[in-house]
Amino acid sequence: MTAAPLPRRRLGPRGPEVGAIGFGAMALSGIYGPADEAESIAVLHAAIDAGATYLDTANSYGDGHNEQLIGRALRGRRDDVVLATKFGIQADGLGRPEKVREALDASLTRLGVDHVDLYYLHRLDPTTPVEVTVEAMAALVRAGKVRHLGLSEVSAKTLRAAHAVHPITVVQQEYSVFSREPELELLPATRELGVGLVAYSPLGRGILTGTYRSAGDLPADDARRRRYPRYGEENLDHNLRLARGMFELAERAGLPPARLALGWVLARGDDVVPIPGTRRLRNLEANLDAARTPLDPDLVAELDRLFPPGVAAGDRYAPAMARRLDR
């Protein structure tokens, strides 16, 4: 049986139309463990074929490997996708105009394309005013190398300052039942300004999928234990206890836990597009099904009750990366 078409959403009122669920490609470059290239490309092709046409990468993912992989996957298929990449997370100073131009040219080479549809500032550069960085990004729009501009992990204040220089089409932010911080100030600002929200890590970096039921299920050498305090020994048991409440709710509803987690994000509004990632074909279709049938409002309300803002234990990032967040 052919799956139902994926519903469509627009990335902000001025942005491109995409599948209601996009694809975050970071995990295809070994971030969470080994990834097979042939299977990764098969997953990307299956996502595009199903209507998940927004592909999200960054120059930092696998130190350029991710962009190269996507470039190989898109040979002959460039026009089938809305392609987004990001720059500026590796070090301070990368928001300077010359660095912005250099980063894009390198990304275009790795991707094998002449333009990207969305170009994000991955993290705010503390040494360069955001207005200066965005003006340099706007010059790339005028040059035809970029179609739309985005920001990632910025405050409402920074969004307003950037938007005054050049329209920001979309903001990318971690957003899930475990990470509801955008609801405090950012989401109201995006809606006031007419900016879309792309929700990364909508499955809580795997903690909301049901794959891990106890701390022992996560390998001791898993990178998440080092990079993300919510997976550290001091917080993981607490967070898994919270997740088990959702697992029980999913079992009663007869749905996979990931279906609930993604359905909750989709229910936040038509201006929100989650971008779960997976290395496995078997997980892709389950993720996309969340967009085909909206979650029952009673289940959304129960998830709101189970996961009030701030309920997760631990910071989202370890200190070295946390300092790059614009709070």
- For 307, how many CA atoms within 13 A lie in the half-sphere containing its CB? 30
Indicate if the alpha-carbon torsion angle 22, 10, 264, 243 is positive or negative. positive
Give residue limits of the domains in the chain: 10-322
Distance from C-alpha of 32 to C-alpha of 175, rounded to nearest angstrom: 19
User: ∠ at Cα 318 (312, 322), nearest 5°?
Assistant: 90
Residue holding tokens 């002959």? Answer: 76
Q: Is 91 helix (H, G, I), strand (E, B) or coil?
A: coil
Structure-token pair, residue 197 = 């929200």
Burial of 8 (0-12, 13-18, 19+ CB in 10 A): middle
Give 154-170 as a DSSP string: --HHHHHHHHTTS---E
Q: What is the CA radius of gyration of the chain?
A: 19
CATH number, domain 10-322? 3.20.20.100
Report the catalytic residues. Answer: 61
The model's pTM is 0.95
Q: What pLDDT shows up at residue 4?
A: 80
C-alpha to C-alpha distances, 149 to 15, 84, 131, 317, 326, nearest whole angstrom: 9, 9, 13, 25, 18
H or E stretch covering 273: strand 272-274
* pLDDT of res. 2: 61
- Going residue by residue through the chain (327 aa), what tens digit of pLDDT does each one get? 467 889 999 998 889 999 999 999 998 987 766 778 999 999 999 999 999 999 999 999 999 999 999 999 999 999 999 999 999 999 999 999 999 999 999 999 999 999 999 999 999 999 999 999 999 999 999 999 999 999 999 999 999 999 999 999 999 999 999 999 999 999 999 999 999 999 999 999 989 998 888 888 888 888 888 889 999 888 999 999 999 999 999 999 999 999 999 999 999 999 999 999 988 888 898 899 999 999 999 999 999 999 999 999 999 998 888 888 888
DSSP state letter for 9: E
pLDDT computed for residue 1 by the predictor: 41
